[in-house]
Every structure is written in C-alpha cells, then in structure tokens.
Amino acid sequence: MHPRVTISPALRAWILDTTRAGHGVPDVLRLMKENGYDPRQSRSIVAEVLKLPLAALTAATHPAQGLRTTVPQAPHVVVDGRAIAVTAGTDKPVVRVLEGILDAGECEALIASARPRLQRALTVDSQGVQQVDRRRTSEGMFFDAAETPLVAAIEQRLEQLLQLPASHGEGLQILHYLPGQAYEPHYDWFDPAQPGYDAITAQGGQRIASVVMYLNTPEEGGGTAFPEIGLTVTARRGSAVYFAYEGGDRSSLHAGLPVARGEKWIATKWLRERPFSPLRCG
C-alpha cells in the first residue's frame, strides 16, 4: 500500500503525459524536485499514478551500487494511517527519534513471542561468523523474515516509512537487558578493511541504516548513546531511533547504555543496500 497522498488532476495528467512522451521515472522525479516537490512525496505520487509498487519504483531510481533509505522528516510521517512523529534528529550522523512506531500491544506481543527463544546475544566476527563478545552482555533471538503476521506487519511498516524494500532487512532481532547489562560503543556497518568483509557482505551488501525500537521503558538507564555527538536517546516504549551511516560514517558510533534499574527490551532491524538472504547451514 502506498502512503496516502493528495494528487491534483493537473499533476496526475502531467505525470501520465510525460511518461507517455517517453520520459522515464527518474526524469519525472527530477522535474518534480526542480519544481519544489519533496522527493519522498514525489515517489509516492508517481507510484500511485502509474500503479507501480513503491519498492519497485524506488529500485528503478537507484543505480546498481545499492539502495539507500529515505530519512524520515519532521514533524511526522503517515504510514498506513499511523502518524509516526519525528521528535528529534541530527544530520551528522543522520539520526531520527521516532514516536509511535509500535503500539503497546505490539510491544507486548513481540516480548512474549521472543522470551522462550532467548539465548546469549552474539556479534559477527571478521569472517561473518556469529560469536560471543564480552562487549555485548544481553540475551536475544532473531525472527525470520515475515515469520509471524506481526513481524510481517512491522517489516511492511518500515518499508513504507523508509521507502526501502522489506527484502533488504535482516531478520528482526529482539534483545533483553537486565540491570548492569549493556552493549559497549560499536558501529553497525562493516569495515571494508577487515579480511572477512567480502564474506559478511556477500548476502545483501553493506549495512546502510539501523532502526532500534524500544519495547518497554526501563525504570532507569538503558538509553542509546551516540558519544561522538553527545546525544543519548531515552528508551521509551513504542518509540525508536533510526540512524543511517552511508560510507562508514564514524560519527555513527553508538552504545546501548547499562540498565540501572528494571529491564530493557528492544527490537532491532538492520538494513542492507541489497536484498538480504541469510546463509543457512545443512
């Protein structure tokens, strides 16, 4: 489903006439941008007029090096009738705080589904193999793509919000932190200088953005810190922090701060520049 937009009869006729005259979608979007249209809204409008899937249109407007997300802009983004507020943000690194991305029932359902499957959370080593890492002391689990109706709905919500096909997302990861547990400062993108870079990026290419969704509100602590810019995002149930890091942006260094009291549950979605297919054993 495309985001709801209002399209005037004159604009609809112009898009149809322009494409019938032999101009491609990139030309139409470029002309709209030159005439003051917001690029995000333009893609939704063109997709609606031409009856194209929004994901397919996004792919058609990007070269082969891989896709990028669309950065949510304040004051809010309407996704399938849900108004997601953009309450704070920075441009270096690209960070947006999003309110209302999940409702209370969805948060509780994700926790309930994940709880019986929790194991010590792992990181990925330089060869693309998951490993226990002293920097990460939480428990976690992964859902497969569209594993449940709720997971599929969240993936579609992120596809519409960020205008990146759901196929570009790694499996939704649920993490559980108890008092004292944390994730020390790290980058989500993969370092091309590491010897295992080719193996890690063989399935889906480089990571380009992350969405950390908070499933509960810890009694104290547990925020997401960006130490390079002195920003800490408070963990609040139903909210999220989105951040992008094209080109290995070192200012995207971040950490899951220790939980001082209570517990913390989060759902994390890592996004790739190309469709992601996890390697299977056996």
Instruction: Give the domain ranges of the chain.
Output: 9-60, 76-272
| Per-chain mean pLDDT for the chain | 87
**Pairing mode of beta strands 264-272, 82-91:** unpaired
Residue 98 predicted with pLDDT over 90: yes
Residue 168 predicted with pLDDT over 90: yes
pLDDT of the residue at 136: 58
125 touches 275 (CB < 8 A) = no
Highest mean pLDDT among 39-43, 51-55, 164-168: 164-168
| Model confidence, pTM | 0.76
98/96 Cα distance (integer angstroms): 6
Residue 28 predicted with pLDDT over 70: yes
**Higher pLDDT residue, 59 or 79?**
79
pLDDT of the residue at 1: 41
Residues in Cβ contact with 269 at an 8 Å cutoff, skipping those fewer than 6 apart: 154, 155, 158, 169, 170, 172, 173, 210, 211, 213
Residues in Cβ contact with 12 at an 8 Å cutoff, skipping those fewer than 6 apart: 49
Which H or E element spans position 72? Answer: none
Residue 220 predicted with pLDDT over 80: yes
Burial 198-225 (b: 16+ CB within 10 A, else e): ebbbeebbbbbbbbbbbbbbbeebbbbb
102/86 Cα distance (integer angstroms): 14
Fold of the domain spanning 76-272 = Jelly Rolls (2.60.120)
Q: Which two tokens stand for residue 159?
A: 């596809």
Residue 122 predicted with pLDDT over 60: no
* pLDDT-wise least confident of 2-6, 226-230, 243-247: 2-6
Strands of 15-142 (E only): list them: 76-79, 82-91, 94-99, 119-120, 123-124, 130-131, 139-142
Question: What angle, 0 to 180 degrees and rounded to 10, lies between the N-to-C axes of helices 149-162 and 104-114?
Answer: 130
pLDDT of the residue at 279: 61
pLDDT digits (tens, 9 = 90+) for 170-190: 999 999 999 999 999 999 999
- % of the chain residues with pLDDT over 70: 85
Residue 195 burial class via C-beta count within 10 angstroms: exposed 0-12, middle 13-18, buried 19 and up = exposed
Residue 2 predicted with pLDDT over 50: no
* pLDDT-wise least confident of 57-66, 95-104, 241-250: 57-66
Which H or E element spans position 243? Answer: strand 240-244
pLDDT digits (tens, 9 = 90+) for 47-61: 888 877 665 555 555
Mean pLDDT of 157-168: 94
State the amino acid at position 173 in one-letter form: Q
